[in-house]
Amino acid sequence: MNAAGLALCGCATAAVLTIGAAACGGAVAPLESGDGGPQGTSSGGGASSSGVSSSGASSSGVSSSGSGSSSGGVSSSGASSSGGASSSGGSSSGGVSSSSSGSSSGSSSGSSSGSSSGVSSSSGSSSGGASGSVYFEQCNAGDLCGTTPAFYFAASFFSGVQPQGCTTTTSGACSYSSCSNGSQLAGDSAGTITISGASLGSPVSVPFGSNGYVYQATGTLFSAGQTLTASATGGQVPAWGPQSVTVPPDALLVAPASGTTISTSQALGVQWQGALPGAQFLLQGGSNDSSSYFVCEWDASVAKTTVPPDVMASMKSAGPGYLLYSQYSQTTFQAGAYTVSEVAFPFDGFTVTFE
């Protein structure tokens, strides 16, 4: 899952990782799309977040964006799964390619241009196979979510062409996006989704709405080692489930530090502890209005790496913003023609200034 967007609802910030952005009333990006961003839905013109994006997506807390919903910015990006290989036109000799954010399964279309530096960019819509994302997100108490942890569930399903409001460029394990206001899409209905497990108590029924599927609650509703389960009664998307995902332990971000002023003139060193074998680590940074953000995703065992200098340079005008991070786990399943990613995404974060 390429995560590109998470969402932070309940936070002053708008993130991109998942789904749920609309619920926060903020702009969000996607969490997972095969084109370098998470597929999620974005209410601010982007995907989470991210997934996962991925992500996007996607707003403060978890937010929902174009392809999924996320409140607090996945995107995920803003995370949905891509049901096929995603490709974008343009010649590339430098290994950097970009395409519009959103979920992409199959192939991505749009006008694209390449350059000798190996950057190819495309904007417009992605099309291809059908995909979906199901996110369980939890923003732990701290800088972004205040004194009370916040729980977000979001899901979205799409087939065919999806209008997007972000242009996303990939660079190594990272992607960066520039977003304009875009439409919030509900996507395809899977009937009523029922979620259960962990510390949710009685099963919760989440109906299909104008922003897809979004449910929010306060408190710590899942922790490491617990299982979260979802199932759907069926609609445009065939009935599926129960499908489960196990919550990974939280990772500890060692660098950069909270409250840091982030230089955009050089690569950003990143280090974390507490890696779980098989899990992924996601770092997302963005402006407070989510008009620009980046998402990086590595195997959690890497533990120490950098955000490339071209990605940091894209944040030069971001000013006050945020960093959020997560060690997440994911499973993938089929619901008819839909390739669906189910993600457990506990995250933390803090405010920063990009300069």
- Dump pLDDT digits (tens) for 241-281: 999 999 999 999 999 988 789 999 999 999 999 999 999 99
* pLDDT for the residue 180: 75
* pLDDT for the residue 158: 92
Mean pLDDT of 62-90: 35
* pLDDT for the residue 234: 98
pTM assigned to the model: 0.70
Best-predicted range by mean pLDDT (71-80, 165-174, 330-339): 330-339
**Is the confidence at residue 324, as pLDDT, over 60?**
yes
Two structure tokens written together for 8:
């932070």
First CA to last CA distance, the chain? 30
* pLDDT for the residue 211: 80
Please indicate whether residue 349 or residue 11 has the higher confidence score (pLDDT). Answer: 349
Mean pLDDT of 316-342: 95
DSSP letter string over 86-128? Answer: ----S-BSSSEEEEESS--SEEE-SEEE-BTTSEEEEESEEEE
Q: Do residues 56 and 9 make contact, with C-beta atoms less than 8 angstroms apart?
A: no
Please indicate whether residue 75 or residue 141 has the higher confidence score (pLDDT). Answer: 141
* pLDDT for the residue 129: 80
